[in-house]
Amino acid sequence: MTLPNQPSNVLTAVEEAKEELGDAGNPTKEKVDKLVEEFLEDVKQDLIETKGWPLNMSAYNVSKAALKDYTRVLAKKYPTIAINAVSPGFTKTDINQNTGILTVEEAALGHVKLALIADTGISGLDFEQTEESTFY
């Protein structure tokens, strides 16, 4: 993927990243690794804005996207194991001075649901709390 040199092309860069990273039919470890490596190199060179990466919580957003795609890669590689991703949501914890929206108990519902559906053959999916989500 070639990221733009001009911030005016941020939308194009984001769309290219979604296309490359989010290829639902063919996620590969190599594609995800390449995108993460490009991001890390751009961070080291202080090129996040120039290259069109998300500015707000960029490391969090890129790592979350990578984890979601790695979930699909692993689910494809190990079809007899239920491998899914779950995002619990903004949860009240010490790390955010309890400013989250959900209690720990509420946030745990998605994890419990995934544990209970493990034998159904559902794999390679992303969940936002208890609901199936799109990857992007």
What's the pLDDT tens digit per position in 66-91?
Answer: 999 999 999 999 999 999 999 899 99
Confidence of residue 11 (pLDDT cuts 50, 70, 90): very low
pLDDT in tens, 15-65: 555 555 555 557 899 999 999 999 999 999 999 999 999 888 889 889 988
Q: What share of the chain is helix, strand, coil (3-state, %, to 5)?
A: 50, 10, 40
pLDDT in tens, 92-101: 999 899 999 9
Q: Is 60 a catalytic residue?
A: yes
Helix (H) or strand (E) holding 19: helix 10-21
Beta strands in the chain (DSSP E): 85-87, 126-128, 131-133
What is residue 133's predicted lDDT score, i.e. its pLDDT?
Answer: 85
Which entry of 60, 70, 78, 136 is annotated as an active-site residue?
Answer: 60
